[in-house]
Amino acid sequence: MSKLGKICISGPIHRPWIEAELKAAGCELVLGKSYDDFPDFRYADAELAGLIGDAEILLVSSRDRVTGPVLGACPGLIAVVKPNIGVEKVAIQAATELDILVCNSPNPENFTGLAEAVVGLVVALMKRVKLNESRLRAGSWKSEKNFGELIEGKAIGLVGMGRVGREVARRFQGWGVRLLGYDPYVEGDKMKELGVERVLLDELLRLSDVVSLHVVGTAENTHMIGARELGMMKPTAYLVNTSRGEVVDEKELGRVLREGTIAGAALDVFEEEPLPAESPLRAVDPSRLILTPHVIGNSLAARDEGYRMAIESILSLLRGGVPPWVINSEAVPRWRDRMARVKREREA
């Protein structure tokens, strides 16, 4: 089979079928360092650009930042493809200016898994699972002061009513809770359909017994939950963040947890990943803070489906098609012109 195109996989995970399918389609592959084998490794811009070289597609891992300088140093690149949802580490504006498409893989199983995980974290926090397990393992037994709380009748505040936020709201229907939602980009009628009251962020923070974050990692949302916002929460309230680490000021969260300003928290995402050994979060009483390594909503089936979507996008792109999961759709017209020029040059 003739070569269809060259693909750089910046951080391949051990799934031989991915490479096999791409090679069977006629693709040439350049492989970077495996995320599993080198979890702390990060490419410098020059290193990543050197790895990409003259590849036409970059299948990028979640650990790697694709900056404007990287994109500018790779004139043959026509697309950056993510095998999952988040594209915060890709310089989308720079890609658009360079007529490079950015595609993600919004696998519905990701939303489902994450929504299920949020419910599980809320239950674990409010039923004080970690505290009581640690007491039992230490030889103690039950005590009234370590009893959990009834979830029914409580207020669950959802910050962000996108796909994950909506799935969480659906799963809490029938629990007898009051659902509050904040999202300046979602109309109240859309929330009402899910039994969610649309409120302002400050009101949500004051009223909620659990605040669960479901927002994207943008400059606008960086540290949207800081000292002021944490200070508005009830002393009996819990914070759950499964969205993006930079949304929460971790230093302030560690402080309020140590001081008892709020009752507890659960985090699956962090400002720096992997979580540094010197993070102030590691000094917090573990019975009041659940920490998981950006994995809580994952499943092997969901990850494989994300890669299948990514492969579908890659093969479509190399054949001149536009996949349905393009993030920077405004770049599509110029990208089509660019591909037409490349085709004419190859045929000349």
**Tally of CB atoms within 10 A around 147:** 11
- Cα–Cα distance between 277 and 186 in angstroms, integer? 38
Active-site residue flag, 244 = yes
Active-site residue flag, 223 = no
Q: Which of 294, 308, 334, 336 is catalytic?
A: 294
Q: Which of 198, 244, 288, 303 is catalytic?
A: 244
Helix (H, G, I), strand (E, B) or coil at 225: strand
What single string gives the DSSP state of each residue in 229-242? HHHHS-TT-EEEE-
Q: How many helices (H) and strands (E) does the chain have?
A: 13, 12
Helix (H, G, I), strand (E, B) or coil at 205: helix
Using a 10 angstrom Cβ sphere, with 0-12 exposed, 13-18 middle and 19 or more buried, the burial of residue 83 is buried
- Cα–Cα distance between 84 and 110 in angstroms, integer? 8
Active-site residue flag, 294 = yes
Is the CB of residue 166 less than 8 Å from the CB of residue 114?
no
Helix H or strand E encompassing 137: helix 129-137
**Tally of CB atoms within 10 A around 216:** 15
Q: Which of 97, 109, 273, 305 is catalytic?
A: 273
**Tally of CB atoms within 10 A around 209:** 21
**Catalytic site residues?**
244, 273, 294
